[in-house]
Homo-oligomer: A and B are copies of this chain.
Amino acid sequence: MMQIAAEGLACNRGGREVFCDLHFLVSSGEMLAVTGPNGAGKSSLLRLVAGLVRPCQGRLSLQGGDPELSIGEQAHYVGHQDALKPSLSVQENLAFWSAFLGGNGEIAAPLARVGLGSLAHVPARYLSAGQRRRLSLARLIAVERPIWLLDEPASSLDAAGQRALAELMEAHVARGGLILAAIHGSQPQPAKELKLGGGPGVIGGYMGTIAQEYPA
């Protein structure tokens, strides 16, 4: 049983305040959908949780989970950029991240799962946008980590890909995983929602209050 709790988080980037006084609570088996208009701070929040951006106020705490690892070290971060090297083959790319992030060297299965089995030996340079996205999502399967931080994971995926992704996320949540996903429009599954860009946000019943942002 893990829990990520944010108390009064505030984030400044490039000197401008992105959001402030943000409270939320996500526990394993839950998915928190972070929504909001462009520039509301979704990516910033995810990067902040991943430890890639420093909060300028408030604290972010993790109950349960491995105490001597940071949140980021127990999390998968899938951002706007897919960390792929054009001159390495699809398989080499995945194999490296699997080894570096501490997966069990299993590569073929994840590739097949995201539908890149036949392209395993093609240089990543040759991949289409959706194929690149699929490859970076394959990390989620290749390496077992409890927390997923997904920034618009469905972007440039085709219908089939989006369905597969939704299943993947459901399965993870069902397994007791914990997901924070920044999404536009419809979420793939019923989930808590954290609307940004509408003043201070409170979610997840933390401090006993249910915010009006809670999904109707």
Contact = CB atoms under 8 A, between A and B. Distances in A.
A159 B161 CA distance: 21
Contacts of A130: 37-39
Contact of A159 (B155, B158, B162, B184): B184
A39 B156 contact: no
Interface string A35-70: 011110001000000000000000000000000000
A96 interface: no
A188 to B, nearest CB: 13
Contacts of A98: none
B158 A122 contact: no
Contact of A184 (B134, B158, B184): B158
Interface residues of A, number: 32
A175 interface: no
A80 B184 contact: no
A155 B157 contact: no
A133 to B, nearest CB: 8
A174 interface: no
A215 to B, nearest CB: 16
A157 B38 contact: yes
A129 B43 contact: yes
Nearest to A80: B129
Name which of A43, A152, A157, A184 has the most chain B CB atoms within 10 A of its CB.
A184
Contact of A43 (B123, B128, B185): B128
Interface of A: 13-14, 36-39, 43, 80, 115, 122-123, 125-131, 133-134, 151-152, 155-162, 184-185
